[in-house]
Amino acid sequence: MKIAASLVFAATAIVMATPASAQFAKPEDAVKYRQSALSIMGTHFGRIGAMTSGKAPYDAKAAVDSAQIVATMSRLPWPAFTADTEKVTVQTRAKPEIWTNNAKFKDDSEQLQNETGKLLAAAQTNNLDNLKAAFASTGKACKSCHDDFRKDVK
């Protein structure tokens, strides 16, 4: 039992100590992973936005479903901004500041996750006004990170 427990502990310690880059076979995989998560997050955030702007009818259950996806997706992209993707040749909109000002990037990603948690809580109140307020502040967190760390489309 003691041996089993220490093996589990050792295995956990190894996984936790493994650099993020080692979790992707190649840098292109990390790029694909983070772009996929951000794309799904954008799609579902957009569905909530359609409801808060009145372009789509308010459907409380659909809002919760989308907010759950947004909250989950908001946790995923960040470990995939591995150092070895900075020079990756595929076209991406990642700015070099992600790596040169990584503390701010990390703060922004944490702020987003904080906001998406509140967005989910707001969706779960089944109240459109709550959803509107949380949608607006989550959108601010998206934008503030994009302003500093995402290249404009040419």
Burial (Cβ within 10 Å: 0-12, 13-18, ≥19) of residue 150 = middle
**CA-based angle 22:73:37, to the nearest 5?**
60
24, two tokens: 């992707």
The distance of closest approach from Cβ of residue 113 to ligand ASC in the complex, given in angstroms and rounded to an integer, is 15
The distance of closest approach from Cβ of residue 45 to ligand ASC in the complex, given in angstroms and rounded to an integer, is 5
**Residue 150 bridge partners (DSSP):** 94
Establish how many alpha carbons lie within 13 A of residue 106's alpha carbon, considering only the half-sphere containing its beta carbon.
7
The 130-149 site mask, x for binding ligand ASC (CB under 6 A), equals: ---------x--xx------
The distance of closest approach from Cβ of residue 42 to ligand ASC in the complex, given in angstroms and rounded to an integer, is 3
The count of residues interacting with ligand ASC (CB under 6 A) is: 7
The distance of closest approach from Cβ of residue 94 to ligand ASC in the complex, given in angstroms and rounded to an integer, is 14
The 38-77 site mask, x for binding ligand ASC (CB under 6 A), equals: ----x--xx--x----------------------------
125, two tokens: 């109140």
Nearer to ligand ASC, 79 or 139 (CB): 139
Question: Are residues 123 and 64 in contact, defined by beta-carbon separation less than 8 angstroms?
Answer: yes
Angstrom distance (rounded) from CA 66 to CA 152: 26
Nearer to ligand ASC, 31 or 142 (CB): 142
The distance of closest approach from Cβ of residue 89 to ligand ASC in the complex, given in angstroms and rounded to an integer, is 24
Tallying the residues shown for the chain, one arrives at: 154
**Chain contacts with ligand ASC (rule: CB under 6 A):** 42, 45-46, 49, 139, 142-143
